[in-house]
Structure 1
Amino acid sequence: MWEKEKEEIINLYETRLKEHGDSIKTMGWRDKEQQHLRFKILSEIGNLNGAKILDVGCGFGDFYEYLINRGMKVDYTGYDISPKIIEVAKSKHQRIKFEVKDILKERIDEKFDYVLESGILNKRISNNIEYAKNMIIKMFELCKIGVAVNMMTNYVDYEENYLYYYSPEEMFKFCKNLSKFVTLRHDYPLYEFTLYVYKRAPYNKKSHKNE
């Protein structure tokens, strides 16, 4: 089932790419302000300066651009399932590692300090809960410190048919089965929430350069 839906997702984004080019509209976001707010919340998982980061569903590498524009130096890798999207990312950031990769299907031996995603769990498919949980499990396997994921919240007064709205409580409870150290962020003005899942208590604020 996932292979069929994966092709549908790839076709969706590559069709948008033809229409909008290198634009946040291709990624399905409304505007830069909202995109940057999502990135801000994701980046608050910990001290990303000097960290090794995997961005799952990286799109054009906009999260990398957000980080470096704020003075951070990161060892960044971006994965996406769309070959054409990755082509654009590589053309924009030629020295950065971007790969066409499906973390649910392909073996990945490399480990990262932080593994993050933004928006890849939002599109309605046949079983969003199973998909989201499998993604979080795999991301947690690939991280050394923590995972940050965002998704649409079911605390809304209107729903779009093509989006899936998750229960924050259900996803928090699931993440607590993976780790004792989980933070639920439902404190920002978007119809979504962010979860941080840590391998250990997140109290160390020093740069990863010094670890």
Structure 2
Amino acid sequence: MAPPRPAAIRSFHDALGFAGPTWRVAGWGSEQLQRARFDALVRNADYRGGTVLDWGCGPGDLYFHLRDTDLPLHYSGIDLDPRMVALAESRGVPGVSAGDAPGGRHDYVFASGIFQFEDPADPLYYLAILEQAYDIAGRAVAANFLSANRPDTARAAGELYADPAVLSRFAAALTDRWRIDHAYHPQGADFTVALFK
């Protein structure tokens, strides 16, 4: 049986370690793939600057990506792993905290990589998280997922491979303004969903 998601996340990061390039610490395959996902979040949310919640902030790389846009930014981040929060703080990332239940209201809520693992006890857990993110967003939510269209040879046991059709139905039930981008990643192995207010 798969471990609970928080345990799987911590075990994954334990295996990676907390030294070296932060894209590797966060579990991305390369700096270029991390940047492609961040670009997809920003582009698909029609990001124009403002208050941002980075849900699952890890070492805070999205903060630097957003800062480099030169748009107004008031950033806060939350992560399940206090070690990630400590790493982000050591890099000068502002407004980060440990936990799994963000509050407040934010213009944008971004979630990059937080839906990596499946949860056999709650296979559609990510929909509840997206709805919570939508509730606290003032303008848009954007999140990326490993795709169910990913080739079998590029899959790992215990990871969540979300079906874009499921996300399409969910998005359409929540808002009449949404988009799915399935074009930015090699082999269609990843996609981003954006939900607008």
Q: TM-score, normalised by structure 2?
A: 0.88
- In 1, the alpha carbon distance for the partners of 2:165 and 2:179 equals 11
Are residue 100 (structure 1) and residue 132 (structure 2) matched? no
Alignment: residue pair count: 190
Deviations 1:107-133 (A, max 9, x none): x2x100010101110223324642111
**Unaligned regions of 5+ residues in structure 2, if any?**
none
Q: Is the partner of 1:188 in helix, strand or coil? A: coil
- Are the counterparts in 2 of residues 14 and 84 from structure 1 also a CA contact under 8 Å? no
- Corresponding residue number in structure 2 for 1:70: 69
- Are the counterparts in 2 of residues 22 and 88 from structure 1 also a CA contact under 8 Å? no
- In 1, the alpha carbon distance for the partners of 2:79 and 2:110 equals 12
Are residue 157 (structure 1) and residue 156 (structure 2) matched? no
- In 1, the alpha carbon distance for the partners of 2:60 and 2:13 equals 15
Q: TM-score, normalised by structure 1?
A: 0.83
Distance 1:164 1:77, change over 3 A: same
- Corresponding residue number in structure 1 for 2:81: 82
Displacement, 1:67?
1.5
**Unaligned regions of 5+ residues in structure 1, if any?**
200-211
Listed as ranges, the matches of 1:35-50 within 5 Å are 35-44=34-43, 45-49=45-49
Would you identify which runs of 4 or more consecutive aligned residues in structure 1 move more than 3 Å?
none
- In 1, the alpha carbon distance for the partners of 2:70 and 2:132 equals 29
- Corresponding residue number in structure 1 for 2:169: 173
Deviations 1:73-104 (A, max 9, x none): 3111000010111001011115x10010212x
Q: Is the partner of 2:96 in helix, strand or coil? A: strand
- Are the counterparts in 2 of residues 48 and 74 from structure 1 also a CA contact under 8 Å? no
Are residue 131 (structure 1) and residue 130 (structure 2) matched? no
Distance 1:176 1:134, change over 3 A: same
Are residue 142 (structure 1) and residue 140 (structure 2) matched? no
| Greater radius of gyration (CA) | 1
Displacement, 1:157?
2.4
Displacement, 1:139?
0.5
Are residue 9 (structure 1) and residue 5 (structure 2) matched? no
Are residue 25 (structure 1) and residue 24 (structure 2) matched? yes
Q: Which residue type is aligned with residue 70 of structure 1?
A: T
Displacement, 1:46?
1.4
Tell which deviates more after alignment, 31-40 or 126-135.
126-135
- Are the counterparts in 2 of residues 14 and 85 from structure 1 also a CA contact under 8 Å? no
- Are the counterparts in 1 of residues 22 and 61 from structure 2 also a CA contact under 8 Å? no
Displacement, 1:189?
2.4
